[in-house]
Amino acid sequence: MRYLPHTDIDRAAMLDTIGADSVDALFSDVPSDLYLDGPVEGLPLHASEMAVERHMRRLSKKNLAAADTPFFLGAGAYRHHVPATVDHIIQRGEFLTAYTPYQPEIAQGTLQMLFEFQTQVARLYGCAIANASMYDGSTACWEAMVMAERITKRTRVVCAAGLHPHYVSVATTLARFTRASVDTAVPVLEAGAGEDAIIDRIDEETSCVVVQYPDILGRIPDLQRIADAAHDKGALLIAVNTEPVALGALEAPGDLGADIVVGEGQAIGVGLQFGGPYLGLFAIANPRHVRQMPGRLCGETIDADGKRGFVLTLSTREQHIRREKATSNICTNSGLCALAFSVHMTLLGDAGLSRLAAVNHALACKAADRLGRVPGLKVLNDTFFNEFTVTFDRDARQLVRDLADKGILAGISLGRLFPDEASLSGGLLVTVTETSTEEDIEALANALQEALS
């Protein structure tokens, strides 16, 4: 049977109200060659639950799963161990309150969780105020650029060459519909993060400089230097972080002069999930900018009896109140992913996060040392946290495919990230987390040595 709640009478009434004769007339602006003219090819019209399960199991066996193989992929999506406790806790009834916590009297569970989450993000980023989360790192990054435009009344965005190309791509797509001009650059294969090149591009028209930390090649830029140069020109510094575990070891961007800090929170608590849904993090260093912030904010208050409670606050920034003058068209947040992040972060604690970061970095150093001994392979970075770039005189895209056929997921080729840049085709980004073992590193080194000989 088909699960369609509307009767023919309902549909007729709706069509009549809209002023369309039929459902087809309603969709008349969809080109006719895009219509489906029958069942989807290869998909049966119906199947039993058991048959579907069997079929899905067969399909899933075709995957080379991250957990079953030496795995060195990162570049904005990281495989970390998520404790089993996280999945259990996020399913508890206390958190299953109203979907939208606009009625604080019945949503204290959700609201308190958001408040704790914001506190964690603000501390992680070295910032004054964090919001209740955005959709993902790339959209959070775009929102930060738009916010900088509102604050500075300028429209030129300077993206550092080390900014993730997918983040750049989201920004350039969205900028087609705004006044912003996005100035981009492609990374050069050199050990340093190229601060001079970034600083040279900042001018009096620049609203913000967007710098990834650590950057797309794993290098760690000197944020304070770039922040000072940006502030001298009246521009803001937006720091972007795609690997929050790194901040268990590195100084927080907000303490290094960044005005807005954004990033991807997936690494903590969320898991790879085939690429989504993910979790955008967003925080500001200066509380005076709070009214220009996008997204939900949860605040602490007291109720009529003087008891501590939580509410959504400063909502007049948001589109359900301010309409076309809202700071953003996000009016929600990534609630479940934020909860998972917050639970995992709580389980880790300050000391746990530092230890996790130390383990990541130590294993990455081991991998860099071992790979550095592979003939024909060079480690590019002089700084990195848990991912670094290696180079060789071969097309890395093909090499990654060859190694995948042998059951080793060696990393992300720069050719995949920058398909139009021949100069980067011999680069491979290798990511090492606490889930990698020394045997995995050895297997990767041996496979690379074999492939390059």
The site for other proteins (CB under 8 A) is made up of 291, 315-316, 321-322, 325
Choice between 133 and 327, CB closer to other proteins: 327
Choice between 322 and 406, CB closer to other proteins: 322
Shortest distance (Å) from residue 236 CB to other proteins: 18
Shortest distance (Å) from residue 306 CB to other proteins: 19
Choice between 249 and 326, CB closer to other proteins: 326
Greatest Cα pair distance in the chain: 75
- Positive or negative, the CA dihedral 358, 360, 361, 365 is positive
Choice between 25 and 321, CB closer to other proteins: 321
Shortest distance (Å) from residue 321 CB to other proteins: 6
Can you tell me the distance from the alpha carbon of 185 to that of 217, in angstroms, rounded to the nearest whole number? 14
Looking up tokens 């003939």, which residue turns up?
Answer: 375
Which residues are registered as beta bridge partners of 327?
A: none
Residue 262, both tokens = 């954004």
Choice between 315 and 435, CB closer to other proteins: 315
Shortest distance (Å) from residue 316 CB to other proteins: 4
Phi, psi of 306 (to 5 degrees): 80, 10
Question: Can you give the C-alpha Rg of the chain in angstroms?
Answer: 24
Shortest distance (Å) from residue 101 CB to other proteins: 15
Choice between 172 and 313, CB closer to other proteins: 313
436: left (phi over 0), alpha (psi -120 to 50) or beta: beta
Q: Which helix (H) or strand (E) segment is 403 a member of?
A: helix 396-405
Choice between 28 and 316, CB closer to other proteins: 316
* Contacting residues for 409 by C-beta, under 8 A, at least 6 apart: 64, 66, 69, 70, 71, 72, 73, 400, 403
Choice between 91 and 316, CB closer to other proteins: 316
Is there a contact between 90 and 343 (Cβ–Cβ < 8 Å)?
A: yes
Shortest distance (Å) from residue 323 CB to other proteins: 9
What are the angstrom distances between the C-alpha of 232 and each of 152, 236, 284?
Answer: 13, 10, 19
Can you tell me the distance from the alpha carbon of 166 to that of 246, in angstroms, rounded to the nearest whole number? 20
